[in-house]
Amino acid sequence: MQNLGIQVLFQGTNFLRLLEGLWVSLRLAVVSMALSIVLGIFLGMLMNSKRKWVKAVCRIYLEIVRIMPQLVLLFLVYFGAAKHLGINLSGEVSAVLVFTFWGTAEMGDLVRSALISIPKHQYESGYALGMTEKQVFFRIIIPQTIRRLLPSMMNLLTRMIKTTSLVVLIGVVEVVKVGKQMIDASRFTTPSAAFWVYGMIFLLYFAVCFPFSRAAAVLERKLRD
């Protein structure tokens, strides 16, 4: 009986259900990432603002996000919003809110450091060629910034995917929850199901994140040369 536990994964539509569960977390990650990229670019530009108070506000925002565990933020939104704002946010909506809040800060910091890593003479040569400020920004600075941003953005995406696994703790039915259901359903027929199901989820996460982190590493090496 013991070594037949792996069958649980392939009984009926079990494997398909796991993949569907994984898709739920991936969708959350992708939506939050897309929002974070857009908002993060603006934040990154704000962070380089010359105004002191704008910088200070951004700094505080970033520090808060850096210090608070994402799970705590999730709890704040999920349990707090229902009470104070009187709206009953579903787990998925609060997850997108929290991960966007977090991702925007991280993305903003990446954009900020990418922007200041562009040497000043790039701007100056642009102006010397008679380009307008807009032209310099869009034709010279942005293309170089994107090149520098890509690897760290991919790393952020894998972090986002990994962090979305937390949503099971606020009651979203995703891959871990589906796995739990499977284990409970086969508690008496295959006691060793937990090993195989959690092992499979582990490998599934790996299969999703590995290509991105590999690609990030390759891009990073390419950039250096």
Partner 1 sequence: MDIEFIRENIPFYVEAAFLTARLALIGILLSAGIGFVCCIIRELRIPVLRQITAVYIELSRNTPLLVQLFFLYFGLPRIGIVLSSEACAIIGLAFLGGSYMAEAFRSGLEAVPQIQTEAGMSLGMKRMQIFFHIILPQAVATSVPVFCANVIFLIKETSVFSAVALTDLVFVAKDLIGISYRTDEALLMLVAAYLLLLLPVSVLCSFIERRVRYAEFGNTGIVSGN
Q: Of these, 165, 173, 215, 219, which contacts partner 1 (CB under 8 A)?
A: 165
Q: How far apart are CA 105 and CA 66, in angstroms?
A: 8
Are 145 and 118 in contact by the 8 Å Cβ rule? The answer is yes
* Inter-residue contact 160 to 33 (CB < 8 Å): yes
- Residue 32 Cβ vs partner 1, minimum distance, rounded to whole Å: 15
Region 23-82 residues binding partner 1, contact defined as CB under 8 A? 63, 66-72, 75-76, 79-80
The yes or no reply on residue 206 touching partner 1 (CB under 8 A) is yes
Residue among 103, 163, 172, 182 that touches partner 1 (CB under 8 A): 163
Amino acid at 83: K
120 binds partner 1 (CB under 8 A): yes
Per CB under 8 A, the list member of 89, 110, 166, 182 interacting with partner 1 is 166
Largest Cα–Cα distance of the chain, in whole Å? 78
In this structure, are residues 208 and 27 in contact, taking their beta carbons and an 8 Å threshold? Answer: no
Comparison of 121 and 134: residue with beta carbon closer to partner 1: 121
- Number of chain residues interacting with partner 1 (CB under 8 A): 45
Binding flag, residue 2, partner 1 (CB under 8 A): yes
Cα 76 from Cα 82, distance rounded (Å):
10
Of the candidates 47, 23, 165, which has an alpha carbon nearest to the alpha carbon of residue 106? 47
> Are 96 and 160 within 8 A, CB to CB?
no
Residue whose structure tokens are 């994964």:
9
Q: In this complex, which beta carbon is closest to partner 1, that of residue 97 or of residue 201?
A: 201
The binding site for partner 1 (CB under 8 A) comprises: 2, 5, 63, 66-72, 75-76, 79-80, 83, 116-120, 158, 162-163, 165-166, 168-169, 176, 183, 191-199, 201-202, 205-206, 209-210, 213
